[in-house]
Amino acid sequence: MSDEAISSTPVAAPVPASQAAVTRQILATVFFTFLAYLTIGIPLAVLPGYVHLDLGYSSFIAGLSISVQYLATFASRPNAGRMVDVAGPKQTVMRGMLACGASGICLILAALLVQWPALSLTALIGSRIFLGVGESLVGTGAIIWGIGRIGAEHTARMISWNGIATYAALAIGAPLGVALAHATGFVVIGIIALGLAVLGYLVARARPAVPVVRGERLAFKLVLRRVLPYGMGLALGTIGFGAIATFITLYYASHNWANAAFSLTLFGGFFIGARLLFANTITRFGGFRVAIVSFIVEAIGLLALWLATTPEMAMAGAAMAGFGFALIFPSLGVEAVGLVPAPNRGAALGAYSVFLDLALGITGPVAGLIVGQFGYEEVFLFAAIAAVAAVALSLSLYRRSQLDLAQAGPR
Protein backbone atom coordinates (compact mmCIF):
# COMPACT_ATOMS: atom_id res chain seq x y z
CA MET A 1 0.00 0.00 0.00
CA SER A 2 1.31 3.47 -0.83
CA ASP A 3 2.28 6.14 1.70
CA GLU A 4 -0.67 8.17 0.40
CA ALA A 5 -3.15 5.39 1.08
CA ILE A 6 -2.01 4.69 4.65
CA SER A 7 -1.96 8.32 5.77
CA SER A 8 -4.73 8.53 8.38
CA THR A 9 -4.47 12.13 9.50
CA PRO A 10 -6.15 14.93 7.54
CA VAL A 11 -3.04 17.11 7.66
CA ALA A 12 -2.98 19.43 4.67
CA ALA A 13 0.11 19.69 2.54
CA PRO A 14 2.14 22.88 3.02
CA VAL A 15 0.61 25.66 0.99
CA PRO A 16 3.10 27.97 -0.73
CA ALA A 17 2.83 31.56 0.45
CA SER A 18 3.70 33.50 -2.70
CA GLN A 19 2.00 33.50 -6.08
CA ALA A 20 5.31 32.55 -7.69
CA ALA A 21 5.56 29.51 -5.43
CA VAL A 22 1.97 28.54 -6.23
CA THR A 23 2.73 28.80 -9.94
CA ARG A 24 5.82 26.61 -9.56
CA GLN A 25 3.80 23.94 -7.78
CA ILE A 26 1.12 24.09 -10.47
CA LEU A 27 3.64 23.79 -13.29
CA ALA A 28 5.37 20.87 -11.57
CA THR A 29 2.06 19.01 -11.42
CA VAL A 30 0.56 19.84 -14.82
CA PHE A 31 3.81 18.57 -16.36
CA PHE A 32 2.28 15.09 -16.13
CA THR A 33 -0.87 16.22 -17.92
CA PHE A 34 1.32 17.75 -20.62
CA LEU A 35 3.14 14.48 -21.18
CA ALA A 36 -0.07 12.43 -21.23
CA TYR A 37 -1.73 14.72 -23.75
CA LEU A 38 1.38 14.88 -25.88
CA THR A 39 0.94 11.12 -26.33
CA ILE A 40 -2.63 11.93 -27.40
CA GLY A 41 -1.77 14.91 -29.61
CA ILE A 42 1.08 13.39 -31.62
CA PRO A 43 -1.09 10.76 -33.37
CA LEU A 44 -4.30 12.85 -33.35
CA ALA A 45 -3.99 14.42 -36.80
CA VAL A 46 -2.49 11.26 -38.31
CA LEU A 47 -4.88 8.53 -37.16
CA PRO A 48 -8.01 9.47 -39.18
CA GLY A 49 -6.05 9.46 -42.41
CA TYR A 50 -4.19 6.29 -41.43
CA VAL A 51 -7.45 4.40 -40.80
CA HIS A 52 -9.33 5.89 -43.77
CA LEU A 53 -6.59 6.05 -46.40
CA ASP A 54 -3.87 3.57 -45.41
CA LEU A 55 -6.08 0.83 -43.97
CA GLY A 56 -9.01 1.54 -46.32
CA TYR A 57 -11.85 1.88 -43.79
CA SER A 58 -14.81 4.29 -44.01
CA SER A 59 -15.02 7.75 -42.43
CA PHE A 60 -17.41 6.26 -39.85
CA ILE A 61 -14.78 3.70 -38.77
CA ALA A 62 -12.13 6.44 -38.77
CA GLY A 63 -14.27 8.52 -36.42
CA LEU A 64 -15.09 5.50 -34.26
CA SER A 65 -11.43 4.54 -33.92
CA ILE A 66 -10.69 8.00 -32.51
CA SER A 67 -13.72 7.98 -30.23
CA VAL A 68 -12.82 4.65 -28.63
CA GLN A 69 -10.29 6.56 -26.54
CA TYR A 70 -12.96 8.90 -25.20
CA LEU A 71 -15.30 6.01 -24.45
CA ALA A 72 -12.52 4.30 -22.49
CA THR A 73 -11.88 7.53 -20.61
CA PHE A 74 -15.60 7.79 -19.91
CA ALA A 75 -15.75 4.25 -18.54
CA SER A 76 -12.68 4.70 -16.33
CA ARG A 77 -13.52 8.14 -14.85
CA PRO A 78 -15.46 6.82 -11.84
CA ASN A 79 -12.60 4.50 -10.91
CA ALA A 80 -10.08 7.30 -11.47
CA GLY A 81 -11.95 9.61 -9.11
CA ARG A 82 -12.21 6.96 -6.40
CA MET A 83 -8.56 5.99 -6.88
CA VAL A 84 -7.55 9.59 -6.26
CA ASP A 85 -9.68 9.82 -3.11
CA VAL A 86 -8.54 6.46 -1.68
CA ALA A 87 -5.04 5.63 -3.02
CA GLY A 88 -3.96 9.21 -3.60
CA PRO A 89 -3.26 11.33 -6.68
CA LYS A 90 0.42 10.37 -6.99
CA GLN A 91 -0.37 6.67 -7.34
CA THR A 92 -3.17 7.51 -9.76
CA VAL A 93 -0.85 9.54 -12.02
CA MET A 94 1.80 6.79 -11.99
CA ARG A 95 -0.74 4.15 -13.01
CA GLY A 96 -2.03 6.46 -15.73
CA MET A 97 1.47 6.79 -17.15
CA LEU A 98 1.78 3.01 -17.30
CA ALA A 99 -1.46 2.89 -19.31
CA CYS A 100 -0.10 5.53 -21.72
CA GLY A 101 3.01 3.38 -22.14
CA ALA A 102 0.86 0.38 -23.05
CA SER A 103 -0.87 2.58 -25.63
CA GLY A 104 2.49 3.37 -27.21
CA ILE A 105 3.32 -0.33 -27.49
CA CYS A 106 0.00 -0.99 -29.24
CA LEU A 107 0.67 1.88 -31.66
CA ILE A 108 3.99 0.28 -32.58
CA LEU A 109 2.18 -3.00 -33.24
CA ALA A 110 -0.45 -1.22 -35.36
CA ALA A 111 2.27 0.30 -37.52
CA LEU A 112 4.06 -3.03 -37.96
CA LEU A 113 0.79 -4.76 -38.95
CA VAL A 114 -0.20 -2.27 -41.66
CA GLN A 115 -0.21 -5.04 -44.31
CA TRP A 116 -3.01 -6.74 -42.34
CA PRO A 117 -5.64 -3.99 -41.95
CA ALA A 118 -7.90 -5.88 -39.53
CA LEU A 119 -5.02 -6.70 -37.17
CA SER A 120 -3.62 -3.17 -37.45
CA LEU A 121 -7.02 -1.65 -36.65
CA THR A 122 -7.40 -4.02 -33.68
CA ALA A 123 -4.02 -2.96 -32.28
CA LEU A 124 -4.92 0.68 -32.91
CA ILE A 125 -8.19 0.30 -31.00
CA GLY A 126 -6.28 -1.34 -28.14
CA SER A 127 -3.95 1.65 -28.13
CA ARG A 128 -6.90 4.03 -27.93
CA ILE A 129 -8.42 2.08 -25.01
CA PHE A 130 -5.17 2.18 -23.01
CA LEU A 131 -4.76 5.85 -23.84
CA GLY A 132 -8.29 6.62 -22.67
CA VAL A 133 -7.63 4.96 -19.32
CA GLY A 134 -4.33 6.80 -18.99
CA GLU A 135 -5.99 10.11 -19.81
CA SER A 136 -8.59 9.73 -17.06
CA LEU A 137 -6.06 8.64 -14.42
CA VAL A 138 -3.46 11.30 -15.19
CA GLY A 139 -5.95 14.12 -15.81
CA THR A 140 -7.93 13.59 -12.61
CA GLY A 141 -4.89 12.70 -10.50
CA ALA A 142 -2.81 15.70 -11.58
CA ILE A 143 -5.54 18.22 -10.72
CA ILE A 144 -6.18 16.80 -7.24
CA TRP A 145 -2.42 16.40 -6.66
CA GLY A 146 -1.96 20.06 -7.48
CA ILE A 147 -4.87 21.17 -5.27
CA GLY A 148 -3.35 19.15 -2.44
CA ARG A 149 -0.08 21.06 -2.86
CA ILE A 150 -1.44 24.60 -3.19
CA GLY A 151 -4.80 24.58 -1.37
CA ALA A 152 -8.45 24.41 -2.40
CA GLU A 153 -8.68 28.20 -2.79
CA HIS A 154 -6.64 27.83 -5.99
CA THR A 155 -8.94 25.20 -7.54
CA ALA A 156 -9.98 27.37 -10.51
CA ARG A 157 -6.37 28.26 -11.24
CA MET A 158 -5.26 24.64 -11.00
CA ILE A 159 -8.01 23.48 -13.37
CA SER A 160 -7.21 26.30 -15.79
CA TRP A 161 -3.48 25.57 -15.90
CA ASN A 162 -4.16 21.86 -16.27
CA GLY A 163 -6.20 22.73 -19.35
CA ILE A 164 -3.38 24.92 -20.65
CA ALA A 165 -1.05 21.94 -20.38
CA THR A 166 -3.65 19.79 -22.16
CA TYR A 167 -4.10 22.00 -25.19
CA ALA A 168 -0.48 23.12 -25.35
CA ALA A 169 0.36 19.45 -25.75
CA LEU A 170 -2.31 19.04 -28.43
CA ALA A 171 -1.17 22.21 -30.23
CA ILE A 172 2.43 20.98 -30.28
CA GLY A 173 1.61 17.33 -30.82
CA ALA A 174 -0.65 17.58 -33.88
CA PRO A 175 1.83 19.18 -36.32
CA LEU A 176 4.72 17.25 -34.75
CA GLY A 177 2.88 13.97 -35.38
CA VAL A 178 2.21 14.88 -39.01
CA ALA A 179 5.88 15.82 -39.53
CA LEU A 180 7.08 12.60 -37.88
CA ALA A 181 4.70 10.43 -39.90
CA HIS A 182 5.88 12.00 -43.16
CA ALA A 183 9.57 11.97 -42.28
CA THR A 184 10.05 8.70 -40.40
CA GLY A 185 6.83 6.68 -40.56
CA PHE A 186 4.00 5.81 -38.23
CA VAL A 187 6.02 3.43 -36.04
CA VAL A 188 8.10 6.31 -34.62
CA ILE A 189 4.95 7.86 -33.20
CA GLY A 190 4.40 4.76 -31.07
CA ILE A 191 8.03 4.75 -29.91
CA ILE A 192 7.83 8.40 -28.86
CA ALA A 193 4.53 7.79 -27.03
CA LEU A 194 6.14 4.96 -25.08
CA GLY A 195 9.17 7.11 -24.22
CA LEU A 196 7.01 9.99 -22.97
CA ALA A 197 5.03 7.63 -20.73
CA VAL A 198 8.19 6.14 -19.20
CA LEU A 199 9.53 9.64 -18.53
CA GLY A 200 6.29 10.67 -16.83
CA TYR A 201 6.24 7.56 -14.63
CA LEU A 202 9.82 8.06 -13.44
CA VAL A 203 9.34 11.76 -12.67
CA ALA A 204 6.04 11.12 -10.83
CA ARG A 205 7.67 8.39 -8.77
CA ALA A 206 10.31 10.87 -7.54
CA ARG A 207 7.81 13.62 -6.61
CA PRO A 208 6.41 13.99 -3.05
CA ALA A 209 2.91 12.72 -2.35
CA VAL A 210 0.13 14.60 -0.55
CA PRO A 211 -1.98 13.19 2.30
CA VAL A 212 -5.30 11.65 1.37
CA VAL A 213 -8.20 13.73 2.76
CA ARG A 214 -10.24 11.58 5.13
CA GLY A 215 -13.99 11.82 5.62
CA GLU A 216 -17.30 10.43 4.43
CA ARG A 217 -17.25 9.10 0.87
CA LEU A 218 -20.45 9.82 -1.01
CA ALA A 219 -21.77 7.16 -3.38
CA PHE A 220 -20.67 7.92 -6.93
CA LYS A 221 -24.25 7.95 -8.19
CA LEU A 222 -25.04 10.68 -5.65
CA VAL A 223 -22.04 12.72 -6.74
CA LEU A 224 -23.02 12.17 -10.38
CA ARG A 225 -26.56 13.36 -9.68
CA ARG A 226 -25.26 16.59 -8.15
CA VAL A 227 -22.99 17.47 -11.05
CA LEU A 228 -25.35 16.23 -13.80
CA PRO A 229 -26.61 19.60 -15.13
CA TYR A 230 -23.10 21.08 -15.12
CA GLY A 231 -21.79 18.03 -16.93
CA MET A 232 -24.50 18.32 -19.56
CA GLY A 233 -23.35 21.87 -20.28
CA LEU A 234 -19.77 20.65 -20.56
CA ALA A 235 -20.83 17.86 -22.93
CA LEU A 236 -22.68 20.22 -25.25
CA GLY A 237 -19.69 22.55 -25.41
CA THR A 238 -17.25 19.68 -25.97
CA ILE A 239 -18.95 18.50 -29.17
CA GLY A 240 -17.24 21.34 -31.04
CA PHE A 241 -13.80 20.25 -29.91
CA GLY A 242 -14.61 16.63 -30.79
CA ALA A 243 -15.72 17.63 -34.29
CA ILE A 244 -12.59 19.68 -34.91
CA ALA A 245 -10.18 17.12 -33.45
CA THR A 246 -11.67 14.20 -35.37
CA PHE A 247 -12.55 15.64 -38.78
CA ILE A 248 -10.62 18.86 -39.40
CA THR A 249 -7.91 17.04 -41.38
CA LEU A 250 -10.42 15.22 -43.60
CA TYR A 251 -12.49 18.43 -43.90
CA TYR A 252 -9.43 20.25 -45.27
CA ALA A 253 -8.62 17.34 -47.57
CA SER A 254 -12.16 17.41 -49.00
CA HIS A 255 -11.52 21.01 -50.10
CA ASN A 256 -7.93 20.32 -51.21
CA TRP A 257 -6.68 22.79 -48.58
CA ALA A 258 -3.25 22.52 -46.96
CA ASN A 259 -2.12 22.97 -43.32
CA ALA A 260 -5.02 21.20 -41.61
CA ALA A 261 -2.82 20.44 -38.57
CA PHE A 262 -2.22 24.17 -38.18
CA SER A 263 -5.93 24.61 -37.47
CA LEU A 264 -5.50 22.32 -34.46
CA THR A 265 -2.49 24.40 -33.44
CA LEU A 266 -4.56 27.58 -33.67
CA PHE A 267 -7.36 25.97 -31.68
CA GLY A 268 -4.89 25.02 -28.96
CA GLY A 269 -3.02 28.34 -29.11
CA PHE A 270 -6.14 30.45 -28.69
CA PHE A 271 -7.35 28.08 -25.99
CA ILE A 272 -4.13 28.68 -24.06
CA GLY A 273 -4.32 32.43 -24.64
CA ALA A 274 -7.84 32.59 -23.24
CA ARG A 275 -6.84 30.57 -20.17
CA LEU A 276 -3.82 32.79 -19.51
CA LEU A 277 -5.64 36.08 -20.03
CA PHE A 278 -9.10 35.40 -18.63
CA ALA A 279 -8.88 32.56 -16.06
CA ASN A 280 -9.32 35.09 -13.24
CA THR A 281 -12.69 36.13 -14.67
CA ILE A 282 -14.20 32.98 -13.15
CA THR A 283 -13.41 34.24 -9.64
CA ARG A 284 -14.40 37.79 -10.53
CA PHE A 285 -17.69 37.23 -12.36
CA GLY A 286 -18.66 33.68 -11.38
CA GLY A 287 -18.59 30.44 -13.31
CA PHE A 288 -22.03 30.73 -14.90
CA ARG A 289 -21.48 34.14 -16.50
CA VAL A 290 -18.11 33.09 -17.91
CA ALA A 291 -19.60 29.86 -19.26
CA ILE A 292 -22.44 31.69 -21.05
CA VAL A 293 -20.05 34.04 -22.85
CA SER A 294 -17.69 31.16 -23.66
CA PHE A 295 -20.44 29.09 -25.29
CA ILE A 296 -21.50 32.05 -27.44
CA VAL A 297 -17.95 32.63 -28.69
CA GLU A 298 -17.49 28.93 -29.42
CA ALA A 299 -20.75 28.80 -31.39
CA ILE A 300 -19.63 31.73 -33.55
CA GLY A 301 -16.33 29.97 -34.31
CA LEU A 302 -18.11 26.75 -35.26
CA LEU A 303 -20.50 28.63 -37.54
CA ALA A 304 -17.47 30.20 -39.24
CA LEU A 305 -16.11 26.70 -39.89
CA TRP A 306 -19.46 25.63 -41.31
CA LEU A 307 -19.56 28.62 -43.68
CA ALA A 308 -15.83 28.66 -44.53
CA THR A 309 -14.97 29.13 -48.20
CA THR A 310 -11.20 29.47 -47.71
CA PRO A 311 -8.68 27.74 -45.44
CA GLU A 312 -7.99 31.07 -43.74
CA MET A 313 -11.65 31.44 -42.78
CA ALA A 314 -11.64 27.87 -41.45
CA MET A 315 -8.52 28.61 -39.39
CA ALA A 316 -10.17 31.73 -37.97
CA GLY A 317 -13.20 29.65 -37.02
CA ALA A 318 -11.04 27.01 -35.33
CA ALA A 319 -9.18 29.72 -33.42
CA MET A 320 -12.41 31.33 -32.21
CA ALA A 321 -13.84 27.95 -31.23
CA GLY A 322 -10.72 27.25 -29.19
CA PHE A 323 -10.95 30.65 -27.53
CA GLY A 324 -14.56 30.05 -26.59
CA PHE A 325 -14.03 26.47 -25.44
CA ALA A 326 -11.14 27.45 -23.17
CA LEU A 327 -13.03 28.46 -20.03
CA ILE A 328 -15.99 26.10 -20.27
CA PHE A 329 -14.43 23.27 -18.26
CA PRO A 330 -13.09 25.40 -15.36
CA SER A 331 -16.07 27.77 -15.20
CA LEU A 332 -18.66 25.03 -14.80
CA GLY A 333 -16.15 22.76 -13.04
CA VAL A 334 -15.63 25.15 -10.13
CA GLU A 335 -19.38 25.25 -9.61
CA ALA A 336 -19.65 21.44 -9.84
CA VAL A 337 -16.74 20.54 -7.53
CA GLY A 338 -18.00 23.04 -4.97
CA LEU A 339 -21.17 20.97 -4.55
CA VAL A 340 -19.43 18.18 -2.58
CA PRO A 341 -17.29 17.97 0.59
CA ALA A 342 -13.48 17.93 0.25
CA PRO A 343 -13.07 14.12 0.65
CA ASN A 344 -15.12 13.68 -2.52
CA ARG A 345 -13.33 16.17 -4.78
CA GLY A 346 -11.78 13.42 -6.89
CA ALA A 347 -15.14 11.71 -7.36
CA ALA A 348 -16.81 15.02 -8.25
CA LEU A 349 -14.11 15.92 -10.76
CA GLY A 350 -14.29 12.42 -12.23
CA ALA A 351 -18.09 12.54 -12.47
CA TYR A 352 -18.00 15.98 -14.07
CA SER A 353 -15.29 14.93 -16.54
CA VAL A 354 -17.35 11.90 -17.55
CA PHE A 355 -19.52 14.21 -19.62
CA LEU A 356 -16.55 15.51 -21.57
CA ASP A 357 -15.58 11.93 -22.38
CA LEU A 358 -19.16 11.02 -23.24
CA ALA A 359 -19.43 13.93 -25.66
CA LEU A 360 -16.14 13.08 -27.35
CA GLY A 361 -17.05 9.41 -27.54
CA ILE A 362 -20.40 10.10 -29.18
CA THR A 363 -19.19 12.89 -31.46
CA GLY A 364 -16.87 10.70 -33.57
CA PRO A 365 -19.36 8.13 -34.87
CA VAL A 366 -22.30 10.57 -34.99
CA ALA A 367 -20.22 13.08 -36.93
CA GLY A 368 -19.09 10.26 -39.21
CA LEU A 369 -22.74 9.51 -40.02
CA ILE A 370 -23.39 13.21 -40.65
CA VAL A 371 -20.42 13.31 -43.02
CA GLY A 372 -21.74 10.30 -44.90
CA GLN A 373 -25.18 11.86 -45.35
CA PHE A 374 -24.47 15.58 -45.72
CA GLY A 375 -20.74 16.35 -45.89
CA TYR A 376 -18.02 17.65 -43.58
CA GLU A 377 -19.38 21.20 -43.24
CA GLU A 378 -22.58 20.07 -41.51
CA VAL A 379 -20.55 18.48 -38.70
CA PHE A 380 -19.64 21.99 -37.53
CA LEU A 381 -23.22 23.20 -37.85
CA PHE A 382 -24.28 20.32 -35.59
CA ALA A 383 -21.63 21.35 -33.06
CA ALA A 384 -22.68 25.01 -33.22
CA ILE A 385 -26.30 24.07 -32.44
CA ALA A 386 -25.05 22.09 -29.41
CA ALA A 387 -23.12 25.16 -28.19
CA VAL A 388 -26.24 27.32 -28.49
CA ALA A 389 -28.17 24.73 -26.46
CA ALA A 390 -25.43 24.99 -23.81
CA VAL A 391 -26.03 28.75 -23.61
CA ALA A 392 -29.68 28.11 -22.76
CA LEU A 393 -28.78 25.47 -20.16
CA SER A 394 -26.19 27.72 -18.49
CA LEU A 395 -28.68 30.58 -18.32
CA SER A 396 -31.14 28.25 -16.60
CA LEU A 397 -28.52 27.10 -14.07
CA TYR A 398 -27.48 30.67 -13.39
CA ARG A 399 -31.06 31.79 -12.76
CA ARG A 400 -31.64 28.84 -10.45
CA SER A 401 -28.49 29.65 -8.47
CA GLN A 402 -29.57 33.26 -8.11
CA LEU A 403 -33.00 32.14 -6.91
CA ASP A 404 -31.41 29.79 -4.36
CA LEU A 405 -29.25 32.62 -3.04
CA ALA A 406 -32.26 34.92 -2.75
CA GLN A 407 -34.25 32.28 -0.87
CA ALA A 408 -31.33 31.59 1.47
CA GLY A 409 -31.17 35.28 2.38
CA PRO A 410 -28.29 37.10 4.05
CA ARG A 411 -26.08 35.13 6.41
Q: Exposure of 389 by Cβ count < 10 A (0-12 exposed, 13-18 middle, 19+ buried)?
A: middle
Taking the alpha carbons of 379, 385, 390, 391 in that order, is the dihedral positive or negative?
A: positive
Residue 389 corresponds to which amino acid? A
Q: What is the pLDDT of residue 217?
A: 66
Let me know the angle formed at the C-alpha of 369 by 224 and 260, rounded to the nearest 5 degrees. Answer: 90
What distance in Å separates the CA atoms of residue 247 and residue 377, rounded to the nearest whole number? Answer: 10
Q: What is the pLDDT of residue 24?
A: 84
C-alpha separations of 253 from 182, 364, 376 in Å: 16, 18, 10
Q: What is the pLDDT of residue 409?
A: 59
**Domains of the chain with CATH codes:** 14-404 (1.20.1250.20)
Rg (Cα) of the chain, in Å, rounded? 20
Residue 217 dihedral angles phi and psi, to the nearest 5° = -100, 120
Give which of 35, 20, 261, 8 is closest to 137, Cα–Cα: 35
What distance in Å separates the CA atoms of residue 184 and residue 202, rounded to the nearest whole number? Answer: 27
Q: What is the b/e burial string over 243-282, where b = at least 16 CB atoms within 10 angstroms of the residue's CB?
A: bbbbbbbbbbbeeebeebbbbbbbbbbbbbebbeebbebb
Q: What is the pLDDT of residue 6?
A: 30
Contact of 62 with 51, CB cutoff 8 Å: yes
pLDDT tens-place values along the chain, 411 residues long: 333 333 333 334 444 456 777 778 888 888 999 999 898 888 877 887 778 777 777 777 777 777 788 778 878 877 887 788 778 888 899 999 999 999 999 989 988 887 888 888 888 889 999 998 998 899 888 888 888 887 777 777 788 888 788 878 877 887 788 888 778 877 888 899 899 999 999 999 988 877 766 656 666 778 888 889 999 999 999 999 888 887 888 888 888 888 887 888 888 789 888 988 887 888 788 889 999 999 999 999 999 999 999 999 999 999 999 999 999 988 998 888 777 766 677 777 778 888 887 887 788 778 878 887 888 889 999 999 999 999 999 999 989 888 877 776 554
